Structure 1
Amino acid sequence: MTLETLNAGLDTIWVVLTAAMILLMEGGFALLEAGFVRTKNNVNIIMKVFADITIGTLCYFVIGFGLMYGTDVFGLVGTSGFLLKGDLSHIDLTISIDAYWLFQGAFVIAVISIVSGAVAERINFRAYLIFVVMMTAFIYPVAGHWIWGGGWLNELGMQDFAGSAVIHALGGFSALAAAIVIGPRAGKFTAVGTSSISLPSNLPLASVGAFLLWFGWFGFNAGSTLQATDARIGHIAIVTMLSAASGGAVTLLYTLFRYGRSDAPSVINGSLAGLVGITAGCAFVSDLAAILIGAISGLLMLAATNWLEARKIDDPVGAFPVHAASGMWGTIALGLFSTEGGLFTGGGWHLLGVQSVGLVALCLWGFSLTWIVFKIINIWVPTRSTDEEEELGLDISYHGIMATHTSPEFIKVEEYFKRDEEAKDVSR
Structure 2
Amino acid sequence: MDLATFTANNVWMMVCTALVFFMHSGFAFLEIGLTRQKNTINILFKNIFIITVGLLMYYVWGFNLMYPGAFNGFLGFGGFGLETDAAGVTAAYANGGYTYWTDFLFQGMFAATAGTIVSGAVAERIRIGPFMMFIFLYVGIVYPIVGSWQWGGGFLSTLGNEHGGFYDFAGSTLVHSVGGWGALVAIWLLGPRIGKFDENGKSNAIPGHNIPLATAGVLILWLGWFGFNGGSVLSADPALTSLVLTTTSLAAAAGGVGSFLVSTLAYKTYDLTMFLNGILGGLVGITAGADLMSPNEAVIIGIISGGIIVGGIALIDRLRMDDPVGAVTVHLMCGIWGTLAVGLFGAKAGIQQFLYQLGGISAAGLFCVASAFTIVFGLKKIVGIRVDRQEELEGLDLHEHGMDSYADFRMNQH
Which TM-score band (shorter chain)? Answer: over 0.9
Provide Cα deviations, 1:307-339, integer angstroms capped at 9, x if missing partner.
111111100000001111100000000111121
Q: Is the 8 A contact 2:41 2:405 kept in 1?
A: yes
* Cα 1:368–1:230 shift into 2, 3 Å: farther
Q: 1:97 aligns with which of 74, 93, 100?
A: 100
Moved more, 189-198 or 111-120: 189-198
Q: Distance in 1 between matches of 2:275 and 2:369?
A: 27
Does the residue aligned with 1:195 lie in a helix, a strand or coil?
coil
Partner residue of 1:108? 111
Moved more, 155-164 or 362-371: 362-371
Q: 2:120 aligns with which of 103, 117, 120?
A: 117
Q: 2:78 aligns with which of 74, 80, 103?
A: 80
Provide Cα deviations, 1:159-211, integer angstroms capped at 9, x if missing partner.
10000011111211110001111111112111111112201111111000000
Moved more, 361-370 or 89-98: 89-98
AA in 2 matched with 1:9: T
Moved more, 247-256 or 323-332: 247-256
Partner residue of 2:172? 164
Q: Distance in 2 between matches of 1:68 and 1:396?
A: 38
Partner residue of 1:56? 54
Shift of 1:383: 1.1
Moved more, 88-97 or 308-317: 88-97
Gap regions ≥5 residues in structure 1? 344-348, 415-428
Q: Distance in 1 between matches of 2:330 and 2:69?
A: 34
Does the residue aligned with 1:141 lie in a helix, a strand or coil?
helix
Shift of 1:380: 3.8
AA in 1 matched with 2:349: G
Shift of 1:230: 4.5
Moved more, 7-16 or 284-293: 7-16
Shift of 1:350: 1.6
Q: Is the 8 A contact 1:41 1:393 kept in 2?
A: yes
Q: 2:396 aligns with which of 377, 394, 397?
A: 394
Q: Distance in 2 between matches of 1:196 and 1:43?
A: 24
Does the residue aligned with 1:74 lie in a helix, a strand or coil?
coil
Provide Cα deviations, 1:264-314, integer angstroms capped at 9, x if missing partner.
110000010000000000000111110000000111111111111111110
Give the total of aligned pairs. Answer: 404
Shift of 1:256: 2.6
Q: Is the 8 A contact 1:72 1:149 kept in 2?
A: no
AA in 2 matched with 1:124: R
AA in 2 matched with 1:342: A
Partner residue of 1:251? 259
Partner residue of 2:34? 36
Percent identity over the alignment?
38
Gap regions ≥5 residues in structure 2? 160-164
Q: Is the 8 A contact 1:39 1:407 kept in 2?
A: no
Q: Is the 8 A contact 1:247 1:272 kept in 2?
A: yes
AA in 2 matched with 1:247: G
Q: Distance in 2 between matches of 1:166 and 1:145?
A: 9
Q: Distance in 2 between matches of 1:149 and 1:86?
A: 20
Q: Is the 8 A contact 2:180 2:327 kept in 1?
A: yes
Does the residue aligned with 2:2 lie in a helix, a strand or coil?
helix
Shift of 1:257: 3.1
Partner residue of 1:306? 314
Q: Which structure has the greater CA radius of gyration?
A: 1
Partner residue of 1:418? none
Q: Is the 8 A contact 1:127 1:383 kept in 2?
A: yes
Partner residue of 1:277? 285
Q: Is the 8 A contact 2:93 2:99 kept in 1?
A: no
Moved more, 165-174 or 75-84: 75-84
Partner residue of 2:361? 359
Q: Distance in 2 between matches of 1:140 and 1:178?
A: 16
Q: Is the 8 A contact 2:126 2:387 kept in 1?
A: yes
Partner residue of 1:147? 150
AA in 2 matched with 1:75: G
Partner residue of 1:15? 13
* Cα 1:167–1:91 shift into 2, 3 Å: farther
Q: Distance in 1 between matches of 2:372 and 2:210?
A: 30
Partner residue of 2:212? 204
Q: 2:349 aligns with which of 342, 359, 371?
A: 342
Partner residue of 1:417? none
The reply to whether residue 133 of structure 1 matches residue 136 of structure 2 is yes
Q: Distance in 2 between matches of 1:318 and 1:295?
A: 17
TM-score (norm. length: structure 2)? 0.94
Partner residue of 2:162? none
Does the residue aligned with 1:83 lie in a helix, a strand or coil?
coil
Moved more, 92-101 or 275-284: 92-101
Q: Distance in 1 between matches of 2:225 and 2:399?
A: 34
* Cα 1:62–1:409 shift into 2, 3 Å: farther
Q: Is the 8 A contact 1:139 1:366 kept in 2?
A: yes
Q: Distance in 2 between matches of 1:217 and 1:286?
A: 18
Moved more, 282-291 or 359-368: 359-368
Tell me how large the CA RMSD over aligned residues is.
2.0
Partner residue of 1:26? 24
The reply to whether residue 236 of structure 1 matches residue 239 of structure 2 is no
Shift of 1:365: 1.7
Q: Is the 8 A contact 1:244 1:272 kept in 2?
A: yes
Moved more, 351-360 or 75-84: 75-84
Q: Distance in 1 between matches of 2:264 and 2:376?
A: 39
TM-score (norm. length: structure 1)? 0.91
